[in-house]
Chains A and B, each alone.
Chain A
Amino acid sequence: MEVTLLIEAMDTSFRLMEDARSQAVDLLNTAVKLTSETRDIEEKNIQAIFTGAQEAKSGFQNLVVTFLMLFAFWVLLSGKYDLFHLALGVICSLLIAYLTHDLLFANVRVGDARVIAYRFFAYIPWLLYQIITANIYVASVVLRPKQHVDPQILRFKTKLESDISWVTLANSITLTPGTITMDIRDGEFIVHALDKKVAADLNAGEMEDRIAHVFMEADHIYVQDALDVAPIFGELKRGL
């Protein structure tokens, strides 16, 4: 009797193991399939990034974007929405856009302009938060009876590549109290820092990383954008 039970139990356990194995194989198969699909999507995205850059380099698109920005600025200034003034605005914006579209978008790098604009606006709140905390810290340093000021000059090579990202980093550093960008020479930043903590914060390089992410530079181009792993995890969860 006990032997039969034992055999039955073993039988069931084997069947369960078999089921589990087949399920696991299925899962692995779907995972492989999904990975190849994701890779296709990734390749397509990378392609899109590059073609986007090529398109951005074409003068006509620059002209149109410059025109739209200038016309928006005109409407903001003018505040008169009758046909005559809007027509004047169109003519003036076209004229200026034609004359200066190569100035506003000089040195366009690889990257999707819309994504960069979106990320730039997402970067501003973070910068504001940094400015507020740095303000409080500098105020505490100044108000402390014992002075802990230890001014120093930092030099560091940046991993950023384009002039616009250098300028963004330099101005972000200057806007944050306690640090001032003195100069940029061949990609080397020369920064004056008020004390050790401020200098250490700057050396940690979070600001640089974020700006690299905003302008899709260094190693931030593909990793976070093209390869979206969420579908794989979703499929795995459903399978289990």
Chain B
Amino acid sequence: MIQKSDDIIIKTLARILVPFIQIYALYVIMHGHYSPGGGFQGGVILAASIILLMITHGLKDTQKRMSEKTVAILSSSGVLIYAGIGVVCLILAGNYLDYSKLAKLLHVAPAHARSLGILGIEIGVGLAVMAVMFSVFFDISRGEVSQEDEDE
């Protein structure tokens, strides 16, 4: 049951914490190639922050911030970034996801190109995971709302 929380303490603290959770999620995504973490973990944290907002502030308020359409666009563009980088490597006469071939395109050393390529992949994975996680939660809760509407 996704309703607005009545508890002012939880609501206020969630509202203050959400931006910091989100910047932490982006930190996890962006530093995935240096430290533990990466696209999947960061994406899940990002989705969790939006789910927290949904639990505390209700479905309608969250939908204003992130509609179903946005979620669909984000998830598919995440996959597109992932697949796109792989295909670009194919086009540049390498294997699929062979980042060192990106060096010609980016005009940097092959090692640096690998680092940047992985970063791009992380961003794609993060976007896709966030959007899919959220849309799963979204679909479950929307099912309940439509049932409520039928009851009324």
Chain A residues at the B interface, C-beta cutoff of 8 Å: 66, 69-70, 73-74, 77-78, 80, 85, 88, 92-93, 95-97, 99-100, 103-104, 106, 163-164, 166-167, 170-171, 181, 183-184
Contact = CB atoms under 8 A, between A and B. Distances in A.
Interface stretch (B16-24, B90-98, B129-137, B138-146): B16-24
For the residues of A in contact with B, the DSSP-based class is helix
B19 A103 contact: yes
Most buried by A among B11, B12, B20: B12
Interface of B: 7-9, 11-13, 15-16, 18-20, 22-24, 26-27, 30-31, 34, 53, 65
A-B CB proximity, top 10 nearest: A92-B26, A100-B19, A167-B12, A70-B23, A77-B27, A163-B12, A96-B22, A103-B15, A88-B30, A96-B23
Contacts of A103: 15-16, 18-19, 53
A191 B8 CA distance: 15
B9 A184 contact: yes
A70 B25 CA distance: 12
Contacts of B30: 85, 88, 92
B47 to A, nearest CB: 14
A104 B19 contact: yes
Given A70-B23, A77-B24, A92-B27, A171 B9 contact: yes
Contacts of B23: 70, 73-74, 77, 92-93, 96
Contacts of A163: 8, 11-12
